[in-house]
């Protein structure tokens, strides 16, 4: 599991509002890309961050 702040800082160098919105759009695109693959999921953990699950 990755904390939202860790992802933002690692990719954009900060965790401000605009970087957060950019990440939300990017995660949405990743979910659409992987939607047909039941073995890959990106789950949002409320108030924590994201969890990438691969079951292949």
Domain region containing 18: 2-54
Total number of domains constituting the chain: 1
Max alpha carbon distance in the chain (Å)? 35
For the segment 22-49, the average pLDDT, to the nearest whole number, is: 93
CB of 1 closer than 8 Å to CB of 48: yes
pTM (2 decimals)?
0.77
CB of 34 closer than 8 Å to CB of 45: no
For the segment 25-37, the average pLDDT, to the nearest whole number, is: 95
20-30: pLDDT as tens digits: 899 999 999 99
Residue with tokens 């904390």: 3
- pLDDT for residue 35: 94
pLDDT-based confidence at 54, cuts 50/70/90? very high
pLDDT-based confidence at 2, cuts 50/70/90? confident
Residue with tokens 């693959």: 37
């Amino acid at each position: 599991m990755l904390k939202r702040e860790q992802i933002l800082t690692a990719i954009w160098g900060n965790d401000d509002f605009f970087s957060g919105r950019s990440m939300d759009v990017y995660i949405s695109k990743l979910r659409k890309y992987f939607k047909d693959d039941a073995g890959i999921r990106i789950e949002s953990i409320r108030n924590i961050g994201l969890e990438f699950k691969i079951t292949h």
